Chains A and B, each alone.
Chain A
Amino acid sequence: MSELIDREVAERVLGRALAHGGELAEVFAERSAGLTLAIDEQRIEAVQSGAGEGAGVRVVEGGTTYFAHVDGLDPADLERAAGEAAAALRAGRAEPRPLEARATTPFPIEQPPAEVPAERKAALLRELDRRGRGAGPEIAQFMASYAEIRRQVTVANSEGLFSGDDRTRVRIGAQAVARRGERVETGAETLGGHRGFELFDDDPGAIAAAAGRKALTLLDAGPAPAGSMPVVVGGGFGGVLFHEMTGHGLEADHVQKRASVYVDKLGEPVAQPLLTAYDDGRMPGEWGSDAIDDEGTPTQKTMVIEDGRLTAYLYDRLTARRDGAASTGNGRRESFRHLPVPRMTNTYIAPGEPTPEEIIAEVERGFYAVSFAGGQVDPATGDFVFGVSEGYLIEGGKVTRPCRGATLIGNCLEALAAIDAVGNDFEMKTGMCGKAGQKVPVGTGQGHVRIARMTVGGTEV
């Protein structure tokens, strides 16, 4: 693939960055181009085309990272950024190693979205609108969005690494609003991948129909129960629970600051033996996949929990160096404007034996959380909270009625250890994960999972 900056330019920038010392210097160059559009009130609107390029230069010395970034890829701008990053260093000059190009194979894109006529994108949204509104007469409103982005990156560092990636992602989202008298409910669904427009070859309208169905179902929802009870979490989107309650605590920066409940737990049992989990940045076409991470390390499949035992943390280059470990290819950044930090890619619980029906049948009275509106966790304490966007009551081993406004609240260590069933219905879903002010695309996945006991916050006391 073609690099965004020439080898000689990269070498000059790295040399400039090390002018006042430093153990590691890196330049990360990026060119991005994207298009988003939406349909609302049956009108195509909010058509936005974005283009940008720029670079970030960092120098690491001791425990300190010096970082500067600029808009634009003009060699003079890059050298200026290197100078700014180096300005606060006070050591003697260091020399970068000569760069050695490393070949990487970006994920294949069959239909580059930039080559697809705009009318087809608008037609896709009109199709979503038709399907979403078609879910039932009580659908009062429907909105959908389309987004495409291509990010080309080149990374070079003073250890001689010179690598790049070319990433194209597409994603559609659907949101339906159902109304019955004073009752108003919403339902949402998304579909995305590290793919081209071919992702929409099958039946993209299905997500619109699903969003409509969710909103309609919630019209019949009663108040959510409040209290401690067994909770069954649905497949796919349900994986966000594992992402939040366990994944973040395995990111090595949290661990090294002892701001994670998984500190000193490597090799220890943290879950029941039925649970095995991975972070895998190489899953073909998945939303959280890349060929290399944003420090040039090839992505990999990392087993984080094996039969209930904690087996790995997720590392970027700096945290790995601190622990005398190797980077697991989890050094990710939102853009050249951000420093890389350890981040998940696609994180999932490996499928188990029972069917979802079998898992639910064993619950006398409990709560069934199918999907979440989002969640938040404090990695230091392990306390988390999740808003349930689609939930049901389980009574006598059966799903009985939908509930609205439920929240799941608990502690990571306790909740993970309380998982007593993992289903065989594996599915991956897409999400945008925020950390340290940066958003990156991540995949979450699992089959149905049962947590023996968890606090459900509802309005029915």
Chain B
Amino acid sequence: MIEAARRAVEATLAAGASDAEAYASEDSEREVRAHGGEVESLTAATKRGVGVRAWIGQRVGYAYGTDLSDAGIASLAERAAGSARIADEDPYAAPPELPVRLSSAIGGKSAPEALPSLALTDDSLGEWGVDRVAELALAVERAALAADERVSGVEQAVYADSAERVAIVSSRGIAGEYEATSCYAYAQALAEGEGGRETGLGFGLGRGPAALDPEAIGREAAERAAAMIGAGKPTSRSCPVLLDPTVASSFVSLLGNALAASAVQRGRSPLAGRLGEEVAGEAFVLHDDGLEPEGFGSAPFDGEGVPHRRTALVEGGALRTYLYDTYTARRGEAASTGNAGRGGYRTLPSVSASNLVVAPGALSTEQLLAEAGDGVFIDDVAGLHSGVNPVTGAFSVGASGRAIRGGELAEPLREFTIASDLVSMLRAVSAAGAEPRWVPFGGSVSAPPLLIAAMTVAGS
């Protein structure tokens, strides 16, 4: 891959670019979907491609393609340079520079202390054949069906994995490559009772299939679905709200978008102009950590070759820094925090969190419930993408969960909404739980349950 990236950089310079950067990736993927005790589909795929960023002075363009032959690369290079000629000049546009202390390490010579070595692969992924991972998906489904007699079926039990190799090369001397494996499994269980049908999601993730527990994944789906049977609406009011880790993670990933310097600099973040200000309760401590081995967002370097690191974002209730890539760092007179994200070779790098990690607190879930007293426990939200104003952080989303009465979980609740804004919600965080969980929805986040002192709940 690194060889294809090198050829792409050379071809783009030859096509008239003053600088070029190529991101190449190769990926083998498998996916098994099980339903009704049978394998419904089995997918094997190989993907490869290169994306090239071309600079012509201060104009930037991008092109990607899947044809890695010399002719294919030449056409890609022409298109990248052509894209740059359409763009307007941007005073902050410039290719990423290699930090001096790292140049030799990424260049492949020495200084092993400079780039952290990360365990991003798991041998079980290559060792488990198709039959064995298919059996894992089937085991997830069986576990969901066996966990609770009210479970009437499983909509789908899915196992998927990926083994990826990524390379980045630039005309400014950046050259790096890494491998990573990842897999996940999930099931959506259906439970029936009291004249209604409910669904529940269970999931697990890891670097290889050996890390997944099909029993636990199936059981979680079953328990979530069965717990919702007979759900009613809460009365509309303002009350303490406890977010489970999956819901807390969803909000934290929104916060990640608001922390992106690109959103801040363009005045599209509720956190713009708030550096150093109090934006959260003391109990809420947040880091971006691109080196956390368990996080799916981990890699030695980011989407433009800048080394990953651990960055304190919210500490002591105060906003410590935004997330920067090379462009926003130049514009904001800051240094890149290694947060140029990539959705693959088909997208331009853009500022995004690597792994967002919320520090766990001291309280067990039981203690958090006791602390809440009377309120609402939320274990699912819907419409997070449509119900949030990214500029102001105001949101109103659909939610479901359980009532909290006398410090304990009570009847199930559904079809209600919670409304607030991101900063008000963060300031109202009064406690973080002791048991965090990795959640892969909308980014890679590790979060414990979060107790919000007060929030508007709209039901009946």
Contact = CB atoms under 8 A, between A and B. Distances in A.
A141 B265 CA distance: 12
A186 B41 contact: no
B36 interface: yes
Interface residues of A, number: 77
B36 A63 contact: yes
A47 B328 CA distance: 18
Interface in A93-140: 118-119, 121-122, 140
A406 B156 CA distance: 32
Most chain A CB neighbours (cut-off 10 Å) among B42, B155, B391, B392: B42
Given A45-B90, A381-B199, A386-B386, A457 B62 contact: no
Nearest to A224: B396
Interface in B384-405: 385-392, 394-398, 400
Contacts of B79: 49, 51
B396 A257 contact: no
Nearest to B459: A455
A317 interface: no
A457 B419 contact: yes
A71 B41 CA distance: 20
A185 B390 CA distance: 10
Contacts of B419: 405, 407, 457-459
Contacts of A67: 41-44
A391 to B, nearest CB: 11
A232 B86 CA distance: 44
Interface stretch (A13-21, A36-44, A200-208, A267-275): A36-44
B417 A50 contact: no
A85 interface: yes
Contacts of B346: 50
Give the secondary structure class of B's interface. Answer: strand
A257 B389 contact: no
A380 B394 contact: no
A459 B392 CA distance: 15
Contacts of B38: 62-64
Contact of B456 (A52, A122, A141, A461): A461
B48 A71 contact: yes
Contact of A49 (B83, B196, B392, B459): B83
B321 interface: no
B442 interface: no
Interface in A44-94: 44-54, 62-72, 84-85, 87-88
B46 interface: yes
Most chain A CB neighbours (cut-off 10 Å) among B156, B236, B395, B460: B236
Contacts of B196: 381
B266 interface: yes
A457 B416 contact: yes
B458 A380 contact: no
Contact of A339 (B36, B41, B67, B156): B41
A229 interface: no
B182 to A, nearest CB: 15
B83 A48 contact: yes
A455 B42 CA distance: 41
A49 B45 contact: no
Give the secondary structure class of A's interface. Answer: strand
B157 interface: no
Given A45-B90, A67-B41, A337-B45, A380 B396 contact: no
B415 A410 contact: yes
B220 interface: no
B199 A374 contact: no
A258 interface: yes
A50 B63 contact: yes
Contacts of A119: 86
Interface in B364-392: 382-383, 385-392
Contacts of A227: 236, 458, 460
A46 B196 CA distance: 48
B40 interface: yes
Contact of A407 (B84, B348, B383): B383
A88 B130 contact: yes
B437 interface: no
A41 B90 CA distance: 10
Contacts of A404: 389, 394
Interface string A340-376: 0000000000000000000000000000000011111
A130 B131 CA distance: 59
A407 B266 contact: no
A182 to B, nearest CB: 9
Contacts of B90: 43, 45
A50 B65 contact: yes
A186 B386 CA distance: 13
A409 interface: yes
A259 B155 contact: yes
A440 interface: no
Given A63-B38, A71-B49, A457-B458, A411 B415 contact: yes
Contacts of B130: 87-88
B458 A385 contact: no
Interface of A: 37, 40-41, 43-54, 62-72, 84-85, 87-88, 118-119, 121-122, 140-141, 177, 179, 184-186, 224, 226-228, 257-259, 261, 337, 339, 372-376, 378, 380-381, 383-387, 389, 404-407, 409-411, 455, 457-459, 461
Given A121-B86, A387-B383, 9 more contacts: A48-B61, A49-B83, A52-B64, A71-B66, A259-B190, A378-B199, A406-B396, A407-B387, A458-B458
30 contacts: A45-B87, A46-B62, A47-B60, A47-B83, A49-B80, A51-B75, A52-B65, A52-B66, A53-B67, A54-B66, A64-B39, A71-B46, A118-B82, A122-B86, A226-B417, A226-B456, A226-B458, A257-B153, A337-B45, A376-B382, A378-B199, A383-B382, A383-B415, A387-B385, A387-B386, A404-B394, A407-B383, A407-B397, A409-B398, A461-B236
The list of the 9 closest CB pairs from A to B, nearest first, reads A457-B417, A374-B386, A385-B398, A387-B386, A387-B387, A47-B83, A373-B386, A385-B383, A226-B458
